[in-house]
Amino acid sequence: MSKAEKVRSVYAELGFPDADEMLVKAQLVMKIAQILRERGWSQQQAAKVLGLTQPKLSKMLRGQFHGVSEMKMMDCLVRLGREVRIVVGPKKKSGSERIEVVAA
């Protein structure tokens, strides 16, 4: 089982009806957090660049995604100089559609 499948599985086990959406958001936030760490930015610096308030960025980075759309997260990646691609693939044996977000 891949890391993404494990994360999705956790959301599904917790009873989230939108487990796939939560997985996509988790992938986006992990990439945003990685870039911010690499740049050594404070949350205050990052919030200005990303067009978020510092408290909202802090919540997002801690996995509290409610109130932040996937589009806003993708916009954050673009503001960080990344190209964002969404790949939708055929269903796997598990019956769920494969959705992958690539931030290059």
* Intervals of the chain under pLDDT 50: none
The pLDDT, as a whole number, for residue 24 is 85
The pLDDT, as a whole number, for residue 13 is 84
The pLDDT, as a whole number, for residue 20 is 78
Calculate ∠ Cα 25-31-37, nearest 5°.
Answer: 130
- pTM reported for the whole predicted model: 0.78
25's CB contacts (< 8 A; 6+ apart) are 65, 68, 70, 73
CATH number for the domain that contains residue 41: 1.10.260.40
Q: How many domains does the chain have?
A: 1
DSSP state of 97: P
86's CB contacts (< 8 A; 6+ apart) are 99, 100, 101, 102
CA quadruple 57, 59, 62, 63: dihedral sign: negative
The pLDDT, as a whole number, for residue 27 is 87
Domain that holds residue 28: 3-103
